[in-house]
Each structure stands twice: as structure tokens, then as C-alpha cells.
Amino acid sequence: MLERPMKPLLILPLLFLFLIPYAQATTYQSRYGFTVDVPDRWLVVTQASIAAAPEQFQAHTAESPYGVIDRALLRTVVSRVQTGKVEIYLKQSTTDPTAADHIQVTQRSGTLPTDTGDVRKACKGLESYFSKQFGRTIVVYNCGVDRIRGRPALQLEFDGVQRGTRSMQYRIQGTATTTVLITATSNTATLDQVRPDFRRIVNSIHF
């Protein structure tokens, strides 16, 4: 089964997008073959960033940009990133330090369905699939097709693993045989703050 598609998200009016107070952003090179612009209010945790400044992750002091993140959560994030299977962006301000708003980037093999019927079929079974995986009833709010920088993409939005959170996801065709999976998970209270940042980050991707 396709793991994570959705109904098309409503596109924000262009004028409203111009009114969003964007922060400065830094361009990062992902291990998955693309560059991405991440707003400076997000903290990028990659193998490269850990290697460049390991003391920032170990000291966990007020001076460290990662000091705002719960110590145990940060250790878990660093451990996962060091496996080389994922990159994670953490939002500096969060309503719950043990469940920080974050974006996870990983890569999967395979190709995305582009036929309307195939997409509809894949989306149809997602609620039962996620509910089984997460061990509780999950609502899928959107599931459908999009294009990011001219590349085929699937987008979805669904209840997060933890209660009180929501996940937004894009699956983008990176190469002929691989897809990049980008998932933002946020507390429902901060969803409206995370959503425009997430869309901006996704739209900045260049392969």
C-alpha cells in the first residue's frame, strides 16, 4: 500500500502569501540530493550539522541553540539522525518541549502513482492503515496530487502519532527510482504557524 498520500490542500491566496512575515532562511544541502531553504527559526539536525558543532548538541546549555529542546528528546533526535536514515528540522519555540514541532526528511525507493484512479485507491485505505499503525483512530484530512518544482508529488494531512498533533506530508519524486518523504508534525495549537513554514520549505527544494 502507498504509505502516505491526500485530498488536495486548499491553496492560500497569493496576496495572503505575500503578507506572511517570513524569517531569514539558510540554504542546506541534503544528503538526499537536493538543496532546501530552512527559516532560521528552525534548527537543522543532519549528520553534517552534528559533525560541524558536536558541542552544541552535547552541552545543552542556554547558549546552545538546541538548549530550548528537551534533553532526552534531543538525544533521541541526534541518535536517529546519526543512523544516516533521516534528517530532522526542529522548531525553536514549541508548546510542548517533549513533542517539539518538527520536520522529518527521508528517502524511499519507488515511484509515485500519477493516474487519478490509482491515487484515489491509495488514499481510500489510508485512515484504516494509519489507525492500525498508530493503535488508535486516525483521521486523514487531505490526500491528493501536487507538483513541487515541476516534479510529481503526493500530499496528505492526518492525525499525528501522538494525540493533539497533526502531520502534513509531501512525497516527491526525486529520481526515477526514489522518492523524498518530507513530514511536518506539530501540536494542533501551533499548526497555523507551522503550515506556512512547511510549505515554504517544500517549495524551496531544488534537485
Per residue in 82-116, pLDDT tens? 999 999 999 987 656 667 899 999 999 999 998 89
Domains of the chain and CATH, by start: 24-203 (3.40.1000.10)
CB-based contact 119:113 (threshold 8 Å): yes
Mean pLDDT, residues 129-141: 96
Mean pLDDT, residues 149-170: 95
Other beta carbons within 10 Å of 159: 21
Tell me the three cell numbers of residue 18.
Answer: 505575500
State the pTM of this model. Answer: 0.84
CB-based contact 186:194 (threshold 8 Å): yes
To which residue does cell 545543552 refer? 60
To which residue does cell 525553536 refer? 92
DSSP 190: G
CA torsion, ordered 80, 82, 85, 91, to nearest 10 deg: 60
Query: So what's the pLDDT on residue 17?
Result: 40
Cα–Cα distances (Å) from 144 to 28, 50, 77, 91, 162, in that order, read 28, 35, 30, 26, 23
Query: In angstroms, rounded to a whole number, what is the distance separating the alpha carbons of residues 145 and 130?
Result: 19
Contacts (Cβ under 8 Å, ≥6 apart) of 163: 136
pLDDT digits (tens, 9 = 90+) for 24-53: 999 999 999 999 999 998 999 999 999 998
